[in-house]
Amino acid sequence: MRRFIIALLLITIAFSANADTLSYSGSVPLQRTNWAETISLPQFDPALGTLNSITFTLSTYAEGICFGENGSITSPTTLNLILEGNIYLKNGSDVLASTFHSFCNETVDVAVGEGITAPLPVFGFTIPGFNGTGPDAVWKTSLDSQFDSNTIFSGFAPYIGTGTIPLDINASAISKSSGGGNVLFIYQVMAEAKASITYEYTPIPEPSGLVALLTGLTSIAGLVFRRKNS
């Protein structure tokens, strides 16, 4: 009888332990920040089984340009340049995943301004007294990829149904600068993002699976019965 109970438990555990996953994703193409976009991803259909957990992932890529130039033709100066970016995956006010990008955090001593006017590289415009090159200027370009993942085990209600759920992806950049009184700073951030949702669930047993389980249990019960009567 003891062996029968152990066998019964093993079959039941093996039958009920099978879990499955469903994943969906959406993306926002590379564009200049700041931006706010919405992606719609399918909900979990309760007809599939019992939802156990939801995992959110956020993969982001961003490009940052930091530029500073001294415009004083009489005094050198120290330029301080900071450029950062944040990207959030959100459902309403709830932050599901987030990434942080640091493009530059520089303190640079630069020479006296050259006082030359020319089109600035990359940005394509002209400002009197600045040319974007030389010992009076500093450039930094940064390419950065980040990833974040978050799993929840409760609060499933908004994600269960047969429709879709809108998720917001927001990207923003923050810059800080300091230097002499006649200084030019220019910053630019481009960012893209891909978000995914993965449902981990226990499927509802199919009829064929139930028949197989009952057949196995019946066979074990018959074997125990025959041994007891032999």
Domain assignment present for 167: yes
Residue 216 clears pLDDT 80, i.e. is over it: no
How many domains does the structure of the chain reveal? 1
At residue 124 the predicted structure's pLDDT band, cuts being 50, 70 and 90, is confident
Nearest to 120 by CA among 97, 100, 137: 137
Domain assignment present for 4: no
DSSP, collapsed to helix, strand or coil, labels residue 136 as coil
**In terms of residue numbers, what domain contains 64?**
20-204
Residue 108 clears pLDDT 60, i.e. is over it: yes
Domain assignment present for 121: yes
* Residue 121 pLDDT: 84
Beta partners for residue 185, in sequence order: 68
* Residue 9 pLDDT: 46
Q: Which residue has the higher pLDDT, 227 or 60?
A: 60
Domain assignment present for 218: no
Domain assignment present for 143: yes
Domain assignment present for 64: yes
Domain assignment present for 9: no
Q: For residue 137, how many other CB atoms are within 10 A of its CB?
A: 23
Task: Answer whether 57's CB lies under 8 Å from 170's CB.
Answer: no
* Residue 74 pLDDT: 93
At residue 8 the predicted structure's pLDDT band, cuts being 50, 70 and 90, is very low
**Which string of b and e fits 152-172 if b means at least 16 CB within 10 Å?**
eeeebeebeeeeebebbbbbe
Domain assignment present for 3: no
Residue 229 clears pLDDT 90, i.e. is over it: no
Q: Give the pTM.
A: 0.82
Q: Which residue has the higher pLDDT, 167 or 7?
A: 167
